[in-house]
Structure 1
């Protein structure tokens, strides 16, 4: 779909806006709004056209998010996190989630931020991780705690960062399915984010995933985050850089 067509306006008027007040008042995740945006093609807006997506970039996505934010800040926060995660998937040439994203059936969340690892604030997430990854044959055990995860317990998968399997330095990224056992939101979730955005802490205690859900190469996650994710997130560094992932900048494995 073209983001400038009446389709988005219709979804905003008929689905997002009517539920926005209840979303904020009841701190209720905007599931109906996300589903409607998926059906309208918005979740796949930034996936490459050759893969069936909208083929649009950061400026168009920012415009869409701004339009949604005027109606429902929670839905806009969810979509911002999703677009940032999809940017990493696209930079790496795709993953098992791409087809589902294009079909409008798959929401991706970011599980990157931690306390006490890699440095302070958002920038620390690009430098290191306390989360641990251990491989057993074709299965990897991920253990860690992520904070400020938008759509925690609501997304269909999460872009998760960990220490590399081999070596002490660097980051490795994984696309973790939400349905895996022992991935959970605590009974008293952490705050942050607009009410209704599902922003909370997310625990892996541990979770077992196939080794092939790794995104890019082991230890190569920092480059993916800096070139693929950071430009899509609000913050001083992203605003100052104003950079987009360069053409042809795909992940090495």
Structure 2
């Protein structure tokens, strides 16, 4: 079934009827996410090699824009998911790509942090306070990630930290939601659209395998500049003012309108 037809059916039969309830009661749109998965829309941008739709940013933009007009919360979830999947497509393993393609895996972003202090939000995104410490084949990540969309509802988070050994930059990790000691408050306290489950995620620490790293140690800034920010910028523009962008990412998006090379060298 063409993705536009599938989207129209999900919007009409599932998302629109529950949009008011989602907004008024602040309930995460789980039925909508499940329906989007079954319709192949969560896996829209995964390679056909893994069973996905094989589409790109332009198609994701269309899906988010059409969804935002019906349910801002669901659009915010899709905005974060498609951006996370762009990273997973480039650096993730075949199993998780297959799970996303099958509609069984919802991704999200955990990049913003508490306590930016004097360094400011752009600087703290470039140089996270989150730490990563390796012991054998296990890495302990300590952080307080704020304004995470689908917190406690996503299946994994794209997570930023200081490098393990590299002198500068940042590292990115695929952190599964079921990882021990990952804590999400029972009542989301974020500023995203009502129902988007935007909240803080605590890790003190969360343990992940060393091979959960995405890209090279210290190479995460380049991934943020060349993959995360372009996707977020386009998806956010498509959704207009109806969806949500975390404060640190919001400021960083503005600076991202400069060429990526000048950002990387600034």
More helix by share: 2
Q: Counterparts in 2 of 1:100-119, with a 5 A limit?
A: 100-115=99-114, 116=116, 119=119
Q: How does 1:47-126 map to 2 (within 5 A)?
A: 47-92=46-91, 94=93, 96-115=95-114, 116=116, 119-121=119-121, 123-124=122-123, 126=125
Give the conservation status (yes or no) of the 8 Å contact 2:183–2:201.
yes
Say what the alpha-carbon RMSD is for the aligned residues.
Answer: 2.1
1:15-30 residue pairs with structure 2 within 5 A?
15-30=14-29
Cα deviation, 1:6-57, whole Å, max 9, x if unaligned, reads 2211111111111111111111000010000000011111112222211111
**1:193 equivalent in alignment to 2:197:** no
Structure 1 match to 2:244: none
Segments of structure 1 that go 5 or more residues without pairing to the other structure are 244-253
Query: For residues 125 and 190 of structure 2, what CA distance do their matches in structure 1 show?
Result: 22
SS in 2 for 1:25: helix
Equivalent residue for 2:254, pick from 234, 237, 249:
237
Task: Tell me, yes or no, if the aligned pair for 2:92 and 2:214 is still in contact at 8 Å.
Answer: no
Question: Does structure 2 conserve the Cα–Cα contact (< 8 Å) formed by 1:96 and 1:213?
Answer: no
5 Å-filtered alignment, 1:112-191, equals 112-115=111-114, 116=116, 119-121=119-121, 123-124=122-123, 126-187=125-186, 189-191=188-190
C-alpha distance in 1 between matches for 2:49 and 2:259:
26
Does structure 1 residue 3 correspond to structure 2 residue 3?
Answer: yes
CA displacement, residues 200-253 of structure 1 (integer Å, 9 cap, x when unaligned) = 11111111111111111111111111111111113553884699xxxxxxxxxx
Asked if the contact 2:46–2:53 (Cα under 8 Å) also holds between the matched residues in 1, the reply is yes
How far did 1:186 drift?
Answer: 2.6
For 2:44 and 2:131, how far apart are their aligned partners in 1? 33
- TM-score in terms of structure 1 length: 0.88
Q: Give a deviation string over 1:62-97, Cα, whole Å, max 9, x none.
A: 111011111110000000000011111122264542
CA distance in 2, matches of 1:183, 1:164: 20
Change (3 A) 1:25 1:98: same
Deviations 1:149-187 (A, max 9, x none): 000011001011101110442111110110111111135
| Structure 1, 164-173 or 111-120: larger mean CA deviation | 111-120
Q: Is the 8 A contact 2:150 2:198 kept in 1?
A: yes
State the 4+ residue runs in structure 1 displaced beyond 6 angstroms: none
Q: TM-score, normalised by structure 2?
A: 0.84
Q: What per-residue deviation string (whole Å, max 9, x for no partner) do you get for residues 132-165 of structure 1?
A: 1111111111110111100001100101110111
Which segments of 5 or more consecutive residues in structure 2 lack a partner in the other structure?
237-249, 261-266
2:224 maps to what in 1? 225
Matches within 5 A, 1:207-218: 207-218=206-217
